[in-house]
Amino acid sequence: MHQVRILPPIVVFITLAFASHAQPDRIKEIFPSGTVFMQNIPYAGDSLKKHLLDIYMPANAKANTPLVIWVHGGAWMLNDKYADMGYMTNTIKSILEKGYALASIDYRHSTTAVFPAQIQDCNQALEFLHNNAAKYKLDKSKFVLFGFSAGGHLASLLALSNNNNVTEFYPQKKKTTFKIKAVIDFYGPSDFLSMTATGDPNVTGDPISTLLGASPLKRPDLSKIASPANYVDKDDPPFIIVHGEKDESVPYQQSVLLQSYLNLAHVKNELIIVKDAPHYGVMFDTEEIRTKLFAFLDNSFK
């Protein structure tokens, strides 16, 4: 008889993130009529499938369209640039209907390349969008990051480290030139050591250990480098953070902790704890949350 092993929350993180995947052949059904689709654009000058991004333009878009950049979840080891869209359909429609463009980026899985490959890819994708903003009718002064779970972690890390000149986060260690106007973080981990403090330091194969290439408790230096909370300072962009009260994969206290760091640095932010909500799902695609998200964006662009 096989022994049954109870998986810790960060391992459950894998399966839940995978379940949110939306198939590419169905993606057009999510967007409003008239949306212009530009898919599988290479952003790194190579042929890697994970170095592609999509751009979705609102109907009749003119020059200098503000851009929301979608960073998918999947425990850093699963999914692609279509993930998380399947349960956020109303939010996606609202993004385009309100005149924003949407770009969705892919990045290398941790099972192929360990950290910091993922944040290097995100930086490279945003630098590509910045350098080609005029070509795609984008306003390079109005870039907003929108990340989910592992993508929330990457979006937060990218934005918070942007003014810290962390050379290992950049391809060829060349500093990027883009700026982030605002961040929308849905249930992303913010501090790996606090998230894994009660775990077994000898257990590997979980998402965070796979990402880092080592147990966080045995490599606290790597855990700190990869944790968004480590980079908070007064010059960071505003944040809105959304987290489920009953998140079984990333405890909502991770977002409370990030807000505390933002508050200490006097960075404008808002935290929304969704009552009874799990790690992902349609409970995050409500009119109440959308109203707060777009009010946040409107204020960020003033």
Q: What is the total count of domains within the chain?
A: 1
b/e per residue 153-178 (b: at least 16 CB within 10 A): bbbbbbbbbbeeebeebbeeeeebeb
Q: What is the pLDDT of residue 26?
A: 75
CATH number, position 143: 3.40.50.1820
First and final C-alpha spacing in the chain: 63
Q: What is the pLDDT of residue 95?
A: 98
pLDDT-derived band at 126 (thresholds 50, 70, 90) equals very high
Q: Domain for residue 100, yes or no?
A: yes
Q: Domain for residue 48, yes or no?
A: yes
238 cis-preceded (ω within 30 degrees of 0): no
Query: pTM of the entire structure?
Result: 0.93
Whole-Å CA distances, 1 to 4, 54, 176: 9, 47, 54
Query: What's the pLDDT tens digit per position in 40-59?
Result: 999 999 999 999 999 999 99
Report the share of the chain in percent with pLDDT over 70.
92
Q: Domain for residue 3, yes or no?
A: no
Residue span of the structural domain in which 280 resides: 9-300
CA–centroid distance for 214 within its chain: 22
Query: What's the pLDDT tens digit per position in 61-70?
Result: 999 999 999 9
Between these two residues, 202 and 265, which has the higher pLDDT value?
265
Tell me the mean pLDDT in the region 59-80. Answer: 97
Q: Domain for residue 133, yes or no?
A: yes
Q: Domain for residue 1, yes or no?
A: no
Q: Domain for residue 228, yes or no?
A: yes
CA R_g for the chain: 18
pLDDT-derived band at 22 (thresholds 50, 70, 90) equals low
* Residues paired with 56 in a beta bridge: 37, 102
Rounded to whole angstroms, how far apart are CA atoms 75 and 12? Answer: 9
Rounded to whole angstroms, how far apart are CA atoms 229 and 252? Answer: 14
Q: What is the pLDDT of residue 210?
A: 97
Tell me the mean pLDDT in the region 181-203. Answer: 92
Q: Domain for residue 240, yes or no?
A: yes
Q: What is the mean pLDDT of the chain?
A: 92
Tell me the mean pLDDT in the region 290-302. Answer: 93
Residue with tokens 């946040």: 296
Q: Domain for residue 236, yes or no?
A: yes
CB-based contact 217:192 (threshold 8 Å): no
CB atoms within 10 A of CB 262: 24
